[in-house]
Amino acid sequence: MDRHGVERAVIYHALTEEVSPIQGNLLLEAWLGADGRLVPQWSVMPTAASLTQVQELHEQRRVSSVRLHDTRVAGLPFRPWAYDPLLAWLSAQRLPVWIPLSSADADELVTTLQGHPDLVTVLVGAHYVHHLQVRPLLAHLPNAHLELSRYEPIGEIEALRDEFGAHRLVYGSWYSQYAMGPMLFYLHHTDLREEELASVCAGNLERIFRRVAS
């Protein structure tokens, strides 16, 4: 982070991706320093135990965002009948939710999230294989943002800025899966204006997090 000029990073524990959001969240605690540069992102799934864990963290005012654990792989789709209670609570608490696109179904995203119009989402990990989904998702989900760590179709950052606005785009590195510098280099070699670049690299996330506190 110091080498690339990154001041703060939102982090989740890798164990939450494939194994257990509850255990992974417990392991995340050890990574959090006192200086606040690593901002915890707690993972959650629609079970009572997982929701209770996040609710307790929220009561301690330690939740600024959550990340959805993939349940589709285990047969529970991202459908209203499965996710509405969790999403309704997140929406009521004004908590933003990060949703990995690698494990998502575009139809389920639109159908389910449209039932929670105030819920702020960040769609993470978009790859060129998601290219056909990105525009319809941003068009139909006005509170959705696109995280950019893996999104490399040619010229698309500038094109999405033109179509949807820089306020819908969020810098991410996916470190330590990916190197931290290349996406920053890319963003600094686009024709984004200075204020747009500042929004993508920091301001948009700060705005999303301020919403929780307000």
Partner 1 sequence: MIDGVQVIDFHGHVGRWDRYGMIDEPARMLHAMDAAGIDRSCVSNIFYPDGTTGNDLTARFVAQHPERFIGFAYVSPLMPERMLPELARAMDSLHFAAIKLYPPYTPWPLNEAQWEPIYRFANARGLAVMFHTGVEPQSLPKFIGEIAPHYPRANFVVGHSGNTPVERGQAIAAAQAHPNVYLETCSTFRTPGVIEQLVNEAGADRVLYGSDMPLMDPRPQLGKIITAQVSDAAKRQIVGENARRLLRLG
Binding residues for partner 1, rule: CB under 8 A, are 3-4, 127-129, 131-132, 150, 152-157, 175-186, 189-191
Structure tokens at 147: 């995280």
Task: Indicate the residue type of 171.
Answer: Y
Nearer CB in complex with partner 1: 105/152:
152
Q: How many of the other CB atoms lie within 10 Å of CB of 191?
A: 11
Minimal distance in Å, beta carbon 173 to partner 1? 9
d(CA 53, CA 39): 17
Give min distance, CB of 125 to partner 1, in A: 12
Nearer to partner 1, 118 or 191 (CB): 191
Question: Shortest Cβ distance from residue 26 to partner 1 (Å)?
Answer: 26
Q: Closest approach of Cβ 183 to partner 1, in Å?
A: 6
Q: How many other CB atoms are found less than 10 A from the CB of residue 75?
A: 6
Measured CA to CA, the distance from residue 60 to residue 210 in angstroms comes to 17
Question: 127 or 210: whose CB is closer to partner 1?
Answer: 127
Q: Is 54 or 126 the residue whose CB approaches partner 1 more closely?
A: 126
* CA distance to 79, 94, 99, 101, 174, per residue, from 67 (Å): 17, 14, 6, 12, 14
Task: Tell the smallest beta-carbon distance from residue 175 to partner 1 (Å).
Answer: 7
SS3 call for 98 = strand
Q: How far apart are CA 209 and CA 140, in angstroms?
A: 22
Cα-atom radius of gyration of the chain, to the nearest Å?
Answer: 16
Of residues 3 and 61, the one with the C-beta less far from partner 1: 3
